[in-house]
Chain A
Amino acid sequence: MTALLPIIVPVVGAGLASLAGGRRGAVTAAALASTVATFVASLFLPGAAEFRQPWLPGLGVSFALDPGGAAAVLVVVVALVMVPTALYAALTVEERPGRFVAWLLLAQAGLGGIFMARDLLLFYVFWEATLIPSLLLLGTFGLEKRRAATLKYLTYAVLGSFVMLVTVLALKALSGAPSFALEDLVLAARDLPAATQTWLFAGLALGMAVKLPLWPLHSWLVDLNEQNHPSGAADVLGTLYKVGGYGFFAWAIPVLPLGAERLAPAFIALGAFTAVYGAVVATSQTHLKRLLAYASLSHMGIVAVGVFGLHVAGLSGAVYLLAAQMLSTGGLFIVTGMLYARRRSFDVDAYGGIAKSAPALAALALFLIFAFIGVPGLGNFPGEFLSLLGAYQSAPAAAVVATLAVIGAGVYGVNVYQRLFLGQQREAARDLGPLELYVLVPFVAGVLWLGIAPAPQLERIEAQSQLAVLQLASGEPPAAELALGGER
């Protein structure tokens, strides 16, 4: 039952927040209570029992949640990120904060399901259901051009995921698997011929590449971030919802290893290109959120490079990077929201030199930027390093190209800090208030936690990477490897 908590608690919280409506105190209380409770519950996930109930037995769908493996890490990080994010949203959204928080929390419930589902159709249910709150957040609370951005986001996401749905159904029908459960699919799909696996992999990959996102399916992301509510809280959700890499890691590669091997060269090339492209475009942006969007796109390229290296280090590293960037990118989006609250602008040139008047803000922002660009000892570094290391084993050229993106990150990261906080101060800016400080502390703590002590989390992820790698080696997967929950 512990596995259900990260889904049920946020749903209840969402109900409470929407009941609270416009009363800011009540909304804040609901947001804090729900997110803190979810975080505490998620700490008990490693080692918790699997939850499995028939859901649509006629079609072989079960409500199967496994809190082990990578899920334990990702759900905890999501829960940690959501505490300050929901709090900041409850404090700063001017109109109808209750609705904003309710949609954030509903999306959190969906994310919990995405990471824990061990039934492919159930995974799809959560994958798709999470889209609606994030769409409504963008459309209701976004800026002027939000409707165009919403339509673009909807079209990309739905086109990808609907093709994925047909592929999921075809996967079961063609492989003759008795159910959509991971272990059944893994066993049954292995015997499919390579050509069939390749087609099926491509079908799944379309949906996952949109949500990774990979070039050329990325342009919705930039518009989404640019048009989202200026507090940055909705962008944090956008960051958490970049679950495509996890989809490849947990589903597409272990279930369709031959398809993965055939298509890996293409995807690793796309990933390397995305990494460099994102970094290059980011250096020339002056809109803070667009800059951050392209920069995080660059990270996603590295995630793809790590995943499609099809090596255990890269697979684990990619998922670790996914978790770490939730904290660093999410924190930076909140920082953009705080900057906007001071100057009403996302233009980098509207700032400058404010480190003098806002030293605490500058210090924490610098810390998060360092984490973001992969400084060793902070969150992103282990994941980035392992991703590139894993990719180097199978595709050294792509790994080298992707490494250029890391250099690019140093350039745009230092550059943006300089333009925002150093130099001649034109106008003083208010420093962090106590509440803002509380909002940023969890991000900083999380980044340190993932940077200093990666081993326990990496071990959990690696347990799941082994499954994919065993499948790739097309050896018999020992039954014990399939169950990630329980004691280990």
Chain B
Amino acid sequence: MTSNDLLLDSAGRIFADHSDKAVLDAAERGEFPERLWNALVENGFHQLAMPDSGVELADVFAVIGLAGRHALPLPFAEALLANRWLGDSARLGSIGLVQGDRVVDVPWGRRAELILALDAERGAYALLDGGGAGVYVEQDRNAAGEPRDAVPLPEGVTWMPLTEPAAAFLALSRGIAMAGGLERVLDLSLQYANEREQFGRPIARFQAIQHNLALMAGEVAAARRAADAAVDAIGGERFELEVAAAKSRVGEAVGIAAEIAHQVHGAMGFTHEHQLHHFTRRLWAWRDEHGNEAFWQQRLGRHLAALGADRLWDFLATRG
């Protein structure tokens, strides 16, 4: 086992132990998964992305992908990245986006003690108190029922320059989490198709089902390869463009794969009791967070148009 495998293995065990259907349902009712968060802190996972953690950023994103596979119901990527940029803290950090005089789309802003307010236009961030520190929070949620809150941006906050492509890191965190979530949804669909019997045989034996699942497997594999490629580009000059390609390609895969997953699962998958929706709703929500397909496609397309038709192939034929 490599150190990467060990890391994923121990993360996977914590995720599996503390992120079952009951925890997911409770989180959706607004109960923060304190036991999960404590377990992560006890095992040092909140420090995983710190510059001196000894863990490569690529491996950090692999763990974030695994968190997506488990639909981890807390702001995992945000807590890790906030610690990376703000310094060590066992207090829960989250990250929101400056929009006018507010900081919006803050995952679990109601519970976070620190909020990093990101102003991409200014190329800067500011540090705010979160709901956990007694600040007024306007509660909101995404399609998966995950808290996406807003706090007022106080006047006179201190802005500090961003030293890393924070927006791209956040987009990649969603991209890799979606790749993990897609793999889970494929596993669930394959399992269901092999178990569910109609007309006297498992529905997996029907060609119509087989072909839809084959199509889905292609999209899931493409999503994984695209997200991994962006992770591999961290630190390189193409990084933001690779994130653009990955976030948009994964987002397209979500549209196709989640639809097929539900079709295969039939009415069972449409019930709240079934676990499928915890994953598919997150996939639908995440593809719109930190830039959807259209946003990143335009970004990549503008770059390529400026390069020109005769350099298009050179850009595509990259070694990595």
Partners in one complex: no
| A residues adjacent to B (C-beta < 8 A) | none
| B residues adjacent to A (C-beta < 8 A) | none
